[in-house]
Amino acid sequence: MNPADEILDIVDEHDRVVDRVPRGEAYARGLRHRCVFVQVRDAAGRLFVHRRTATKLVFPSLYDLFVGGVVGAGESYDEAALREAEEELGVTGLPRPRPLFRFLYDDGAGHNWWSAVYEVRCELPVRPQAEEVAWYGFLTEDEVARRLDEWEWVPDGLAAYQRLGRFRSAG
């Protein structure tokens, strides 16, 4: 199926479903929907970082600190987090990602979604989905910090990463 044809729940400012439309229409009209962000660490505690393919509907060819994506119509955040993580990493049998917090991402330019942030440890060999991931690596926190100003990151993932840092320092 063409990703633009996937049906999404459209939600209000309180994350209540108000409509269902194809993803392409939701993006074109800037309709608020749901997304998941899953921070993945390997057995050594390194972060999975990847560059999105040039064919992605949103933020093509940019680097991302999370795996994840849209929540399908009728799907829960938890279901979407596990599905997206397994799809993008190319694994099965991943532990259920642990939910951390939610926030409303809105860049003021039509990118507007409720975002649920998760974390998971992946000790399985990864085979990232070629349609989604152009490059990947497991990087230490120091390596990520050095690249934050060097690489062009997806803005929603960068916002989630910054909020995750504040969440962890507050907890």
pLDDT at 143 over 90: yes
Residue 42 has a pLDDT of 97
Contacts of 102 (CB under 8 A, 6+ apart): 15, 77, 114, 115, 116, 117
**Per residue in 15-49, is it b (16+ CB within 10 Å) or e — as a string?**
eeeeeebbbeebbeeebbbbbbbbbbeeeeebbbb
Tell me what pLDDT residue 103 has.
96
pTM of the model: 0.95
Please state whether beta strands 7-11 and 67-70 pair in parallel, antiparallel, or not at all (unpaired): unpaired
Q: For residue range 68-120, list pLDDT tens digits in order.
A: 999 999 999 999 999 999 999 999 999 999 999 999 999 988 888 999 999 99
Residue 116 to residue 83: CA distance in whole angstroms: 14
pLDDT tens track for 17-73: 999 999 999 989 999 999 999 999 999 999 999 999 999 878 899 999 999 999 999
- Give dist(CA 54, CA 133) in Å, integer: 9
Which H/E stretch holds residue 149? none
List pLDDT tens digits, range 161-171: 999 999 999 97
